Amino acid sequence: MSNPEGRPKEQQPPRVGFGGGHRGPAAMQARINKEKPKNMGKTLLRLLKVIGRSKYFLLCLLLTMSAVTVLDLFGPTLQGRAIDTIHFVDGRFTVEFEEMKKILLQMLVLFSVSAVFTYLQGILSAKISQDTVFSMRNDLFAKISRLSIKSTDNHRHGDLMSRMTNDVENVSNAVSQSIASLFSSILTFVGALIFMLRCNVVVTLVAFITVPLTLLVSAKLARFMRRYFVQQQMLLGKLNGEVEEMVIGYKTVVAYGKEPETVERFGKISEDLRKTSIRSRVFGSIMGPCMNFLGNLQYVLVAAFGIFFVIRGKMSPGNIQSMLQYSKKFNRPINEIASQYASIMTAMAGAERIFEIMDTPDEIDEGTLFVSPKEIRGNIEFRGIEFGYVPEEPVLKGLQLSVKQGQKIAIVGATGSGKTTIVNLLTRFYELDGGTIAVDGMDITELPKKTLREAIAIVLQDTVLFADTIRANIRYGKPEATDEEIRFAAKTARAAGFIERLPDGYDTVLTEGGSNLSQGQRQLLAIARAVIADPRILILDEATSNVDTRTEMHIQQAMLALMKNRTSLIIAHRLSTIRDADKIVVVKNGIIVEEGSHEELLEKKGEYEKLYQNQFAGIAT
């Protein structure tokens, strides 16, 4: 629905980024089918590094888990000793009550201390989980702020939001639920093996019979299932993108009666997600029963061989009880992984998607010249500019343009001729394919982007307002601005009248995008924001296209004062708004074909005259 930076469809870059691709379900499914599992080991190591930032809490957690595990391992031994206080002699049961009381008291103390440590373990696990989420979310948001406009243009915003919310939350759930249990399981495995060897070496070797089979089955199932979790997360991102696009473009959808098609497209993506989610959960659930079967097989083998050794007098009944308990603990690590496999795989897929963004190169900024924005005068030179949003499809072809300080330059041309592209390159939203742009004789690649952009104010055709007060939205152009400066800017932009009529005036809180204002009012606020920024270079991209003719006349008067002694680039379709420009340049097929004043261009009977006649023919008629 959107058209980034005002580009015609044929000049938009292909969606090849994080969640891009063609919108059609068939194309989307084709891409999903090509999705291959990525390097889980590398992702896990990177995730552990993030978790490791809470190293002191992590150390405390590991110590607490170690204590819980050791205490837990002594439980079966005490149980076995308690059972062995019961004797069957001459057809009668006898019990060593004093010894049993002593052992039961030890068990009470053991389990009480274990409960306290388990409680501490839960607190520490939650702390590490939330610290990890906090760290990842902040890193991801900071990374997004450093991405180039091209990077954010090339993928759906809903998918990016899904990574910020759903994927990070999945990682949080896995960390809080799995890190403690997996580490504890490894300690339990080693500890149970040691205790089992102390009881009986042969029975321990029998218990080991099922281990290779367990590892083989789990590895095969893991490799088979993982792709469904990757697909699930990717589809969830696409679904969020579809919802976001529907909400933003709702008026357009309704105006063209496209509700059924939109619902159908959403339904197809939702159906793909439903099927993939079912597969991921079903196949994820297979591992649990398989591991339980192998664990029960191990239990039976240990019991059978244990009874055999009891009959031969080489083991006591208490030893059998201990061995059976330890065999369960011995098998616990793999069972733990199996029971949490779904959440672990979802988290790994989400972490991969997060790290995919983190690995995207930052916006290039090689500027090293130390120049204050206030020092920039506004002389601009475009020399041999070559650029295309899509390789092999150039939009600008050797464009040449010279703008003097304080000049008001209007750029006109047919849709798709490259007008908006010129200012996109000046602000370095995109990087040149060839040629140079110089400001005051300095190549803009040598100026820090912050310096360059602080010297430029932009008023776009599609106004961007934030869910904040009107005062804050105007002050966005100058954070340190006083209330007096804000009122002056609003007055200059002819916005003060409607603002002061609002019940809360400048403290009126706007909804997202400023949707509780009219389109014209939103444009006036954007102009006020540019006024307060006090720029050296002013860019107006159809700045008055959304206001009525009378308001436009007032704004034109305000703009004349604003543009005085400032270099101004005006992109306009309404040719009536640029008649007083110092110079009008006509762009066609990526080059400037004409330039001059309004009267001079009309006398040439060229492209400008055609545009003028086409625009005003209907009015004359």
DSSP-assigned letter for residue 433: S
Structure tokens at 465: 């307002």
Whole-number pLDDT of residue 381 = 93
Nearest to 75 by CA among 109, 121, 118, 101: 109
Percent of the chain with pLDDT strictly greater than 70:
84
CA–CA separation, 338 and 219 (whole Å): 11
pLDDT at 451 over 80: yes
pLDDT at 482 over 50: yes
| More confident of the two residues 290 and 142 | 142
pLDDT at 20 over 70: no
570: left (phi over 0), alpha (psi -120 to 50) or beta: beta
pTM score: 0.64
Residue 146's pLDDT band (boundaries 50, 70, 90)? confident
Write the DSSP string, 332-370. HHHHHHHHTHHHHHHHHHHHHHHHHHHTSPPPP------
Write the DSSP string, 246-302. HHHTHHHHHHTT-HHHHHHHHHHHHHHHHHHHHHHHHHHHHHHHHHHHHHHHHHHHH
DSSP H/E element including 594 = strand 591-596
DSSP reduced 3-state for 456: strand
DSSP H/E element including 126 = helix 97-146
Structure tokens at 163: 């990574």
Structure tokens at 516: 């509780």
pLDDT at 456 over 70: yes
Whole-number pLDDT of residue 545 = 63
Structure tokens at 545: 């296209």
Cα–Cα separations (whole angstroms), residue 102 to 111, 116, 569: 14, 22, 91
| More confident of the two residues 440 and 191 | 440
